[in-house]
Amino acid sequence: MSAEKEKLDKLAERIDELLVVLSRISEDLRAVVASIKTAAAPQAAQQTPSAPAQVPRETQAKKPVDDVRMAFPEDLEHMLNFEDKGDYIMIKPKQFLGSENFAKIASAVRGMGGEYISAGRDSHFRVYKKKP
């Protein structure tokens, strides 16, 4: 019975490992989808020759931040502050992220062409509106 329990424990550990890997793959795929949507948005705008619809300035200003915000799952989004800094969107953690959450956020940011800026208390992620 002990050998059978050991086999079941090893199987459960392996399943847990697979779930972690699948979770990371899922997060990477979300980042890729967000990047594709971001890249496709300017192309769609170029294809329509008609005059652009008038959108209130408030909506125009928030759109890039909202696009970046949507690239993150809700559980991570609630840990982050998003701020438009002109050429880029600054993403700052509200709390300690831990290594797993940090890795997920960094992966999503890289998927959008962004980077991590290490600056002590002012460390943050940047997602550029245009390629630097």
- At 22-66, the pLDDT tens digits run 777 777 777 777 767 767 665 555 555 544 444 444 434 456 888
Residue 41 structural domain? 2-47+57-128
pLDDT recorded at residue 60:
42
Q: Is residue 52, in this structure, part of any structural domain at all?
A: no
Share of the chain above pLDDT 70, in %: 76
Averaged pLDDT score across all residues of the chain: 79
User: Does any domain span residue 114?
Assistant: yes
- The count of domains in the chain is 1
CA distances, 49 to each of 39, 45, 46, 55, 60 (Å): 18, 8, 7, 17, 19
Token reading at 14: 């392996």
Helix (H, G, I), strand (E, B) or coil at 129: coil
**Helix H or strand E encompassing 30:** helix 2-47
Question: H or E element: which one contains 60?
Answer: helix 57-70
Average pLDDT of the segment spanning 65-94: 91
75 located within any domain: yes
pLDDT given for residue 59 in this prediction: 39
pLDDT of residue 11: 82
Residue 15 falls inside a structural domain: yes
